Amino acid sequence: HMLTPLLRAERAELARNSTGVLTFKPGEMVLCKGEVPQDILWYVVEQGTGIVRRDIVDFEEVQDDVVQSNLRRASHFGEYQAFHRLAASTISVQAGPTGMTCVVFDAEIIRKVSSLELDERGNVVSDRYVPVVPKVDSMSTVSLDDVTVEAVLGEGGFGAMFLARHH
């Protein structure tokens, strides 16, 4: 699932910055391949079902409008267009026979909040992590005498986690 590699703080940030909820009637087109939507959004299905279609290129053969996936609760779409900053949609999405309700997020929000990395097909690369903090090598020489404990963040079986400030 796309949200799994996100840090807890990143998930919370996404939840706080939801653009809203959109409801689609049965059979209504949500995205149309090749068209430029008014807003580039990431959609997470809250209720109902939908169908994702795309063109498949296999060697020299092109298959038009092939069903790529069936959407249900917690399924998502639109992230490829958002992460790759594409103007036109590369997929068509149609609401299912009972309609579909989606929580939507602005593309800019998920690009800013997310530490996710996508491969060339738009799938989340879960075995690699793109650090949010560029480098912490310079902190490896900080002495404990140079820090002040500001707060205890948590305690567990292996010790305590502190928020500390460097002087």
Q: Decide which of 33 and 3 is more confident.
A: 33
pTM higher than 0.75:
no
Give yes or no for residue 70 having a pLDDT over 90: yes
**Domains within the chain, CATH numbers bracketed:** 8-113 (2.60.120.10), 137-166 (no CATH)
**pLDDT of 125:** 55
pLDDT category of residue 112 using cuts at 50, 70 and 90 = low
Burial group, residue 116, by CB count within 10 angstroms (0-12, 13-18, 19+) = buried
